[in-house]
Structure 1
């Protein structure tokens, strides 16, 4: 085994260790058929809970946006039967899994509007509907009671989900995501105009144990200010060109941070080591103890991204630039299941735009392919043109025949 194979094996083992330590995989021992002790890793309950919440939010949104009858009446051979529509069936299967996410109960004020509505409906009506299902967990709508209850649930979802208050809040979240994404893309473009090959680091930073509740009360602000200030002053990692910090709320993680740091790629290349410095600074300096803080170095997953932006990003490397765009889309998303408390203020923070030299000349040799960043601009801001064309298409009304 050569040195490269050993390095890849170390990265694979550390990635697996992070999955186990973060709770995504749980070790379990069992006895096989001949009585030997065997070891297996199961998907954690938190992962199943998040998948269920995502499914419930999507089901509520689809019901709110459609007008189809939830229960269809069919008569064949003089026998009347009832069947659920596709949206109603998806809603029922999302409601019946409400027990998978106990940590979400009572947190409706933190949730996305569609998820909060679905959670209230599921907690109220699922206990009454669970007695009207078959062995395949399908709802027995031939009975009058479940038909009446599910029809009521659909009516409430459509009335509340289409109310001006909910619609305006969802539009505000969508607009915020678009504005934040545009600002971050222009921010990265400003760096690429001055620096042809910056080095990109990505880390996820968490708080643990009792610090989770303290973070929701706003006590994380001090640690966040210290992180942003010292990043801007090169006290954590050297030669910082810019940074983007996004504050988010999660099902099990609670308040956590997604951080992207951009360094001078002409001076540095060890992205894993530098990201580790950033992660350890958060744990030991910003929060103060590994008991109350943790982090994840996204370098360990760089081979899993379809377009990787961790490491050097050249202004003419289309795949790396697409990776930057995907990372910025992930960082600026606003359709999460749990939203950030208003007491924490702005969710997105970024550094200052680097100054352009007055004489127009940059440090180092001239760029071989010219100063044009049209490729980077087309990739990082191309989504705006697609968004405008989609908006124009949605405004068109069909002509009457």
Structure 2
């Protein structure tokens, strides 16, 4: 889901003065940060493909001084430096940046290009300006060379292979659910912790998630659930939280808003014993540009496309930064049995 979708349904909630019991803040990703990292990755790729010097020298004046002239590669570097990319101990302990971004940040720090006293347009004695020009061009050249090394290519391949594997696995899983069921009732519920419990450690969050799905095996609330997808995330204010999608047999259940609310309340009251909060995305599904939740027919191409967009949104951070998790950071239910198999399909085996 794009940031515009988040803004749209936040505005809708505000306009309607809607209060949904049990809800803290919208359990969304930091759309601004994702956009920043997406732009950073694109700029680094452009920089390494660029040709020629990033900076040159202007004509000398009567005092034999000069300033830097910014060429096309230099403009790309300057745009990159203007982006606010997190680089503090807490963030670095939690996330691994996409290799292009990580490599560029390392070189920018190595060359001290974030130093506030560094001025690009200041006129200096020609020898000083020449040294600065050579220094900055050297930084760009090193960035260009870094992407050709075996270590970088191996890291990039590993990062992309992992993301592609996750996308492929989720696509096959959702398609398999529709192959088994004529219609699915799709819920999206974001499960988090109250402000006073926002410092909940990752291992506790993992235990709470496992308890939710273990309890679901014998809880009538989940009796008609045929699948699910979960993704663990972390936010500076919200702490650890889950983006959840639940798939129910659409021939047996309806009222997605009510069902999502009951799941959220179960998380807050039973699983977390009052420590948790939830956000019922189905309650504001009309605010989404491409609605991929609610009742979806097997043959409804438009809604299924919206559903896939919603699934991709759950894993959006992985394109540019990956949470360093203790164990798995994302999971899904077991694949359903084929239609001709005997017995009820089980989707609650892999929590």
- Same fold, TM exceeding 0.5? yes
1:60 pairs with one of 44, 57, 62: 44
The question of 1:186 aligning with 2:172 is answered yes
CA-CA distance at 1:324 after TM superposition? 1.9
Distance, in Å, in 2 between the alignment partners of 1:9 and 1:158 is: 46
CA-CA distance at 1:354 after TM superposition? 2.5
Give the structure 2 partner of residue 270 of structure 1.
Answer: 255
Residues 123, 348 of structure 1: alpha-carbon distance in 2 compared, 3 angstrom cutoff: same
Q: Provide the aligned length of Structure 1 versus Structure 2.
A: 320
Residues 47, 327 of structure 1: alpha-carbon distance in 2 compared, 3 angstrom cutoff: closer
1:202 pairs with one of 170, 182, 188: 188
Cα contact 1:230–1:236 (8 A) shared by 2: no
The question of 1:128 aligning with 2:115 is answered yes
1:93 pairs with one of 79, 87, 93: 79
Give the structure 2 partner of residue 354 of structure 1.
Answer: 336
Give the structure 2 partner of residue 374 of structure 1.
Answer: none
CA-CA distance at 1:212 after TM superposition? 5.3
Residues 307, 233 of structure 1: alpha-carbon distance in 2 compared, 3 angstrom cutoff: farther
The question of 1:221 aligning with 2:203 is answered no
The question of 1:324 aligning with 2:307 is answered yes
SS of the residue 1:107 aligns to? helix
Give the structure 2 partner of residue 32 of structure 1.
Answer: none
Using structure 1 for the length normalisation, give the TM-score: 0.65
Residues 326, 247 of structure 1: alpha-carbon distance in 2 compared, 3 angstrom cutoff: same
The question of 1:307 aligning with 2:251 is answered no
Distance, in Å, in 2 between the alignment partners of 1:10 and 1:82 is: 50
Give the structure 2 partner of residue 381 of structure 1.
Answer: none
Structure 2: runs of 5+ lacking an equivalent: 1-10, 123-127, 345-351
Give the structure 2 partner of residue 371 of structure 1.
Answer: none
Greater CA drift, 333-342 or 252-261: 333-342
Residues 10, 181 of structure 1: alpha-carbon distance in 2 compared, 3 angstrom cutoff: closer
Structure 1: runs of 5+ lacking an equivalent: 1-7, 25-45, 136-141, 363-401
CA-CA distance at 1:317 after TM superposition? 0.6
Give the structure 2 partner of residue 282 of structure 1.
Answer: 267
Distance, in Å, in 2 between the alignment partners of 1:321 and 1:357 is: 20
Using structure 2 for the length normalisation, give the TM-score: 0.73
Cα contact 2:192–2:238 (8 A) shared by 1: yes
Give the structure 2 partner of residue 294 of structure 1.
Answer: 277
CA-CA distance at 1:11 after TM superposition? 8.1
Distance, in Å, in 2 between the alignment partners of 1:356 and 1:51 is: 40
User: How big is the alpha-carbon RMSD for the aligned residues of Structure 1 and Structure 2?
Assistant: 4.0
CA-CA distance at 1:361 after TM superposition? 11
Give the structure 2 partner of residue 43 of structure 1.
Answer: none
CA-CA distance at 1:158 after TM superposition? 3.0
Distance, in Å, in 2 between the alignment partners of 1:126 and 1:210 is: 39
The question of 1:341 aligning with 2:328 is answered no
The question of 1:168 aligning with 2:150 is answered no
Cα contact 2:24–2:277 (8 A) shared by 1: no
Residues 250, 234 of structure 1: alpha-carbon distance in 2 compared, 3 angstrom cutoff: same
Greater CA drift, 120-129 or 243-252: 120-129
Residues 149, 80 of structure 1: alpha-carbon distance in 2 compared, 3 angstrom cutoff: closer
Structure number with the bigger relative contact order (C-alpha 8 A, sep ≥ 6) is 2
Cα contact 1:250–1:338 (8 A) shared by 2: no
Residues 296, 120 of structure 1: alpha-carbon distance in 2 compared, 3 angstrom cutoff: farther
Cα contact 1:203–1:279 (8 A) shared by 2: yes
Per-residue CA deviations over 1:267-297 (Å, capped at 9, x if unaligned) read 322111211222233333333334xx43322
CA-CA distance at 1:318 after TM superposition? 0.8
Distance, in Å, in 1 between the alignment partners of 2:26 and 2:180 is: 41
